[in-house]
Structure 1
Amino acid sequence: MTATQTADGTTAVDRSAPPASWWAVGALALGIFTLVTAEFLPASLLSPMAHDLGVSEGMAGQTVTVTALMGAVTAPTLAILLPRTDRRVVMVGLTALALVSNLLVAISPGLVTVLLARLLLGVALAGFWAMVLAVTAQLVAPDHLGRAMMVVNSGVSLATVLAVPVGAFLGELWGWRWVFVAAGGTAVLALVAQLVTLPRLPVTSSGSLRILLETARRRIVLVGMTATALIAGGHFAGFTYLRPALDRVPLLTAAGLAGLLAAYGAASFVGNILSGLLADKRLRLLVVAAPVLIGVATVTLALGGTSYALVAATVVLWGIGFGGIPTAVQTWIARVAPDRLESMGGLFVATFQIAIALGAAVGGLVVDAFDVRTALVLGGVAAVLGGALLGAARRV
């Protein structure tokens, strides 16, 4: 891989045959695991956190809200704020910020301090996500990018499976503050791994508000953002209300519910692995098939979700489908706009964050106005439409 200086002061990198650096890709996956685990921890620790901080559970739940809102702001702007900073320094710095956030939460005397610490996590999480595609593209050859993103996104899958149950278990043993200390320890491991494995990563495209707006105005980008919003929003319009949907299953026990949620997490991990096998060679199939699985699962659950065996099958299909979405979307980005990976990464992370919030909100309105089955059907239809839009937007 060679680098040359361009007229606007950035570094143009020839990526025709970069040496593979899979240890560095693994370090990025560990970083993603650390960040997503920290994001999910309040879900498993909400009650003891609220009691200890002297606030309602609803107020304690805002620790998740502020993280997402800060992420939506940070994702598209970080490249603008740090236009020439070595991306190795940026990724290490964001991981360090997550470490600081977790330790601040652990020692916080009240909710205000916790919320401020979680704002820092929002910066770290969204910034890391926005940069990770462009960084990974410098570490592996272009025809291996899909598999590399699968490795990176395995950190998300593992965090999805482990964060909530392990957080709840350790919270009972140690108390919620020590769980955040442990999350800080994971951040230290990720920090060390990145320092050891990440090479110097020169900026490969200029970062400015003009570039960001110019990228956002591209027709293919607008189509992709709309499709991503439909897929993510549709998923969370249904998934946010999965528990009341599962409560319709006759004689469902607590153990049965836990088994279904565990099956979803495991299936999500499998979906991520499958997406890595398809992304480099069969991307068009992947971007259509993954949302279709979500749609089939949600509609089936809505219309026939009273048999435990059928529900288990639909939950597995749902997990496989959504597990493949991050790698599918990120690889699609790299194909349609390889010259704007940082801007595209930021725009799509922001789109994803906003879609999560809107999907959950619209799903809630539909549940209250109609029922949870209607929310599941509408969410599934939205996801399928998003996948069709991505697949038809450009031959990839």
Structure 2
Amino acid sequence: MNHELCMASPTQDAPPQQAASAWGAVVSLALGVFSLVMSEFLPASLLTPMAHSLSISEGQAGQAVTTTALVALVSGLLVTSMTRGLDRRQVLQGFSVILIVANLTVYFSPNLGWLLFGRILLGIALGGFWALSTATAMRLVREHDVPRALSLIFTGVPIATISAAALGSFLGDLLGWRNVFLIATAVAVITLLVQILTLPSMPPQRPTPLRTLVDVMVRPGIGVGILAAMLVFCGHFAFFTYLRPFLEQISSAGIHSISSTLLAFGLANLTGTLLAGRWLEHHLRLTLLSMPLAMGAIAWLLVTLGGLSLWTDALMITLWGLAFGAVPVAWSTWLTRVVADEAESAGGLLGASIQLAIATGAAVGGVLFDTSGVLGTFAFSGALLVAVALLIATRVRTQPQAQSEAQQEVIHQ
């Protein structure tokens, strides 16, 4: 059995570009991101009422978030091969249908088992949607518009995070936690309708068996790039997960100051995401390198100078949000540059690595928080991010490596 092991050229088998960019369809993807991410993080703001209503502990209710992340990791890896014969329009709309069913299952759930089942369904939709989103954006817009399209799609993340944290808790107190999930269901229905109206037919372009994931990972520079992306997200979530304890313990902030700082963080994150699109068209390597370096420096400044002034602490946290806003867009843009011919499989790998980073960053940060306090967690985050910046500077490619003649002729018997 012969199998050619080679690195595709930048244009080989790359997705065909649209004659005109389909921005309406891009907006529908942004809505998909918004509705999925908002549903993912709603339990964090509704934990107590959910636990009381279902007669479970808050720790058990918190598994609703963990379950979704773990299933999303697996879904992101498998979706490309499992749906390789289906039109991408149908697959994306199918994920919106699953999201609707997931939120309705949570709304009607009488116990923990049904709650977790609904969250498993959400994980399937979340991981699958993330895996396909970057490759879909490449098919919807012209090549030079891809960074801006990704920037628009990723605006759904900070808006959803703010909505889940602020509106989720407010509406939960006002209407009850089940009705918040009913509202999330309505948002998912709107998303599905917009997708039906705007997404064009996108037949699968080439077979994508499961082993394609391995083929992509062994390409020169791809594995180290995925690792670097995962470590950047790990450093971020080690920081972000324990931001409130830092404000409470080190900055001596009250609840209103904490809320204001988190809102400023979210708005800065949104701004960074929006600004990243045009910047990345010409400065991809600089962005990949400078954002974790800036975040690492901010973490160390907070470790050494934190607590001197609430205003300076809040300013540095806001600047972190601005810097991180460009990170998801930058790594998705990197993917479109170096793995254009296998963007779906690479998107699944990147999405899975981010889900793993979320769990790892929070877990390692939690261990350090218990042993060294919040400053120990922030110090770890800063050191990791500076180290990743060095890795990016020395090892991460921003253009596909031209295949050598020897590589083209490697044959597995």
**TM-score, normalised relative to structure 2:** 0.91
Question: Which residue is 1:321 aligned to?
Answer: 323
**Equivalent position of 2:377 in the other structure:** 375
SS of the aligned residue for 2:46 comes to helix
**Conserved 8 A contact 1:245-1:302:** no
Structure 1 residues 54 and 80 mapped into 2: Cα distance closer, same or farther (>3 Å)?
same
Q: Which of 352, 355, 358 matches 1:353? A: 355
CA distance in 2, matches of 1:164, 1:243: 13
Q: Which residue of 2 aligns with 1:385?
A: 387
CA distance 1:158–1:372, shift in 2 (3 Å): same
1:366 to 365, 368, 377: 368
Tell whether the 8 Å contact from 2:15 to 2:138 is kept in structure 1 after alignment: no
Q: Return closer, same or farther for 1:222/1:199 CA change in 2, 3 Å cut-off.
A: same
- SS at 1:281's partner residue? coil
State whether residues 235 and 379 of structure 1, in contact with CA within 8 Å, keep that contact through their aligned partners in structure 2. yes
Q: Give the 3 Å change call, closer, same or farther, for CA 18–77 of structure 1 in structure 2.
A: farther
User: Which amino acid is 2:327 matched to?
Assistant: I
Distance in structure 2 (CA, Å) of the matches to 1:184 and 1:247: 34
Distance, in Å, in 1 between the alignment partners of 2:327 and 2:372 is: 28
Moved more, 367-376 or 167-176: 367-376
> Does the Cα contact within 8 Å between 1:290 and 1:320 map onto a contact in 2?
no
Q: C-alpha distance in 2, partners of 1:351/1:172? A: 35
The percent identity for this pair of structures is 41
Q: 2:123: which partner in 1?
A: 122
Query: Is 1:256 aligned to residue 275 of structure 2?
Result: no
Say whether the 8 Å CA contact 1:292–1:321 is kept in structure 2: no
CA RMSD of aligned residues (A): 1.5
- Relative distance call for 1:281 and 1:98 in structure 2 (3 A) is same
Q: Which moved more, 1:30-39 or 1:366-375?
A: 366-375
Instruction: Name 2:407's counterpart in structure 1.
Output: none
CA contact (8 A) 1:227 1:385 kept: no
State the aligned residue count.
386
1:102 CA drift (Å): 0.4
- Which position in structure 2 is the counterpart of 1:32? 33
Q: Determine the C-alpha separation between the residues in 2 that align with 1:82 and 1:14.
A: 17
1:394 paired with 2:397, answer: yes
What is the Cα deviation at residue 391 of structure 1? Answer: 4.4
Tell me the equivalent position of 1:202. 203
Cα deviations across residues 26-81 of structure 1 (Å, max 9, x unaligned)? 01000110000000100111100000000000000000010000011110111111
How far apart are residue 295 of structure 1 and its match? 1.0
Retained in 1: the 8 A contact 2:15–2:341?
Answer: no
Deviates more, 1:382-391 or 1:213-222: 382-391
- In 2: Cα distance, 1:45 partner to 1:303 partner: 34
Structure 1 segments unaligned to the other structure (5+ residues): 1-11
Distance in 2 between the 1:87 and 1:391 partners?
35
Residue 337 of structure 2 aligns to a residue whose secondary structure is helix
> One-letter code of the match for 1:309?
W
**2: distance between equivalents of 1:338 and 1:359?**
29
TM-score normalised according to structure 1 size: 0.94
C-alpha contact (below 8 Å) 2:17/2:138 kept by paired residues: no
Partner of 2:186: 185
Partner of 2:312: 310
Q: Structure 1 stretches (4+) deviating beyond 6 angstroms?
A: none
Q: Structure 1 residues 330 and 237 mapped into 2: Cα distance closer, same or farther (>3 Å)?
A: same
Q: CA deviation at 1:123?
A: 0.5
1:328 deviates by 0.5
Could you tell me which residue of structure 1 aligns to residue 410 of structure 2? none
Following TM superposition, by how much is the alpha carbon of 1:277 offset from its aligned partner in structure 2, in angstroms?
2.0
The residue type equivalent to 1:390 in the other structure is I
| CA-to-aligned-CA distance 1:213-255 (integer Å, 9 cap, x gap) | 1112223111111101210111111221112211234542111
Contact 2:306–2:313 (CA under 8 A) maintained in structure 1: yes
Higher RCO by CA contacts (8 Å cutoff, separation 6 or greater): 2
Is the alpha carbon distance of 1:280 and 1:204 closer, same or farther for their aligned partners in structure 2, counting shifts above 3 Å? farther
Q: Give the Å deviation of 1:275.
A: 1.2
Change (3 A) 1:327 1:162: same
Gaps of 5+ in 2: 1-12, 400-413
Moved more, 144-153 or 303-312: 303-312
* Larger deviation, residues 213-222 vs 123-132: 213-222
Does residue 336 of structure 1 match 2:338?
A: yes
Given the alignment of the two structures, is residue 276 of structure 1 paired with residue 289 of structure 2, yes or no? no
Per mean C-alpha deviation after superposition, the further-off stretch among 223-232 and 367-376 is: 367-376
Would you say the 8 A contact 2:338–2:398 is kept in 1? no
What amino acid sits opposite 1:352 in the alignment? I
Instruction: After TM superposition, give the deviation of residue 14 of structure 1 in Å.
Output: 5.4
Give the alignment of 1:152-231 within 5 angstroms. Answer: 152-231=153-232
Is residue 15–residue 139 contact of structure 2 (8 Å, CA) maintained in 1? Answer: no
2: distance between equivalents of 1:80 and 1:119? 20
For residues 320-353 of structure 1, give each alpha carbon's deviation from its aligned partner in whole angstroms, at most 9, with x where no partner exists.
1111111000000111111110010000110011
Q: What is aligned with 2:233?
A: 232
Cα contact 1:366–1:374 (8 A) shared by 2: yes
Structure 2 residue aligned with 1:80: 81
Q: Find the aligned partners of 2:157 and 2:122 in 1 and give their Cα distance.
A: 15
